[in-house]
A = this chain, B = another copy of it.
């Protein structure tokens, strides 16, 4: 454990009443990790001076670097800046560079510059200003007893900008650390316990500086090996060897060796094979298309999606026979097959996936029991169908269906059962 330790404090009542989900902490952790800094704790406190001061005291006792996000906005509920000035025994002074930048942003956005915005340019006189290119509240870098405290606004993309432009390069220069390397295996089709049993001997044989974690996800279990060491190259080699050994043992269930979402794995497979994909989504309502188009360059292989939420649209655009829906129901293998086959023609694509189901809550639709979803994947030669039954709520059923759908295309493409 020779790595430099960091702790992240996020400030804001909205975090404590659950109105905001904290995505900043994960972002910060990922990026610190990449330069060999361990995040050892994350703490969230409200907009309360006592709680913030107490958190600073405690976290400074546990880490060399403390990152604080939130509480730097222009409105009255933001109390962090004056508090930090007091904590570090400094006073707030107007910073002309920051003021010019704030004014420029207001002109650019065509917004009136108000008296209260001047306050955003008042900075404690003993910190280093960290430039916030895209926002009005700058970051601040304090030092105390050889420790570093960094305060940033809570708006995610502003925080990320300051981290990338200012914080990460400075931290890297200042703290020399052990390298941390992660490698992953993405598996699908079996549970955590089953996987663990299959590789128990390999897990037990891991040296002390390599840790294995199981991360169960939606229809997938991710295995992550994390190693620490002085020599990054040697460590990477060692981890890759261990990973490959485990992956070979788990071969039938391995979807990929990179820690990327399914839409990236699928996108890469389509791009490599120079194949195009089209979708016909009913109950998943465009979610699969949304994920597939999150990947830059998706236009290479993704043609489009007919979100046919009503049966009327399945007939009108996809040309599903009215008699098929009458006879078998909207949620049926037969309807899924017609949807998938016709999508190949309608969207002029090499492969297609169709999804039709009932996600809940009960009563929304009486076609089939809640949680029933039929999917079909097709190319010109073949169709493959599968029936799913999900047992969660609407949102989770949708997420499961979406992951299973992408996996189904991937397996079909790769001739896996």
Mark A residues whose CB is within 8 Å of B. 13-23, 25-31, 33, 38-47, 51, 55, 58, 73-77, 109, 111-112, 114, 116-117, 134, 155, 157, 182, 190-194, 196-197, 203, 211-216, 222, 224, 226, 259, 279, 281, 283-290, 292-294, 296-299, 302-310, 312-313, 316-317, 346-348, 360-361, 364-365, 391-396, 398
Most chain B beta carbons < 10 A, residue from A75, A226, A259, A302: A75
Given contacts A77-B212, A296-B394, A309-B303, are A51 and B40 in contact (CB under 8 A)? yes
**B29 to A74, Cβ gap below 8 A?**
no
A116 touching B29 by the CB < 8 A rule?
A: no
* A307 contact set on B, CB distance < 8 A: 279, 286, 289, 293, 304-307
Are B309 and A193 in contact, CB atoms less than 8 angstroms apart? no
Bound together, the chains give a CA A18 to CA B114 distance in angstroms of 38
Q: Which of B182, B197, B293, B309 contacts A309 (CB 8 A)?
A: B293
Chain copies in the assembled complex: 2
Cross-chain contact A302 with B293 (CB below 8 angstroms): no
A395 lies within 8 A of B39 (CB) = no
Complex contacts, A197 vs chain B, CB 8 Å:
114, 116
Asked if residues A41 and B45 are in contact (CB atoms below 8 Å), the reply is yes
Contacts of A306 in B (CB 8 A): 304-307, 317
Docked CA distance A192–B75 (Å):
7
- Chain B residue contacts of A288, Cβ below 8 A: 286
Q: A20-B26, A39-B17 are in contact. Are A299 and B305 (CB under 8 A)?
A: no
Given A17-B182, A41-B45, A308-B304, check contact A285 B296 (CB 8 Å): no
CB contacts (< 8 Å) of A23 on chain B: these are: 21
Nearest CB in chain B: distance from A111 CB, A: 6
A401 CA to B293 CA in the complex, in Å? Answer: 14
Chain B residues within 8 Å of A55, by CB: 41
B392 touches A157 (CB 8 A): yes
Q: Are B313 and A347 in contact (CB under 8 A)?
A: yes
Give A117's nearest chain B residue, CB to CB. B193
